[in-house]
Amino acid sequence: MENENIKTGESLPIPTPKENRPMGALIGAIIIIFILVLGGIYLWSTKIQTKIMGITTDDQTTEQTASNLAKLEQTANTPDIVIDQIASQSPSDTTASIEADLNATDLNSLDKELQSI
């Protein structure tokens, strides 16, 4: 008798669980947008400050770059005495010849090029 209450061909509705969407992606997107807005405000404020102060960084940078390039070209065109001394060293690997080459090499002028730049 219990089977008589069940009708064949009739389907029972399947309960679907509620979708719990994760909030992490939304919070992450909001944080990224907030950081981008703060960065934009920072860049905008520094641009305004340089206009107010009248600083022309482009002109100063161009002049510094040109002077540094001129110094570098001048240094590159001068013959390097240390390289000439190294090229004139003896190919022998005895201790006496290595000491003689070491004593003949002028190591005091190594910083001279760096200071001239």
Between 100 and 40, the higher pLDDT residue: 40
Q: How far apart are CA 29 and CA 25, in angstroms?
A: 6
Closest CA to 116 of 80, 63, 88: 80
Query: Can you give the pTM of this predicted structure?
Result: 0.31
2-37: pLDDT as tens digits: 555 555 666 767 777 777 777 888 899 999 999 999
Q: What is the token pair recorded at 110?
A: 């190594």
90-117: pLDDT as tens digits: 777 888 888 888 787 777 766 776 677 6
Q: How far apart are CA 111 and CA 105, in angstroms?
A: 14
Handedness of CA 84, 86, 90, 96 (dihedral sign): positive
Band the pLDDT of 65: cuts 50, 70, 90: confident
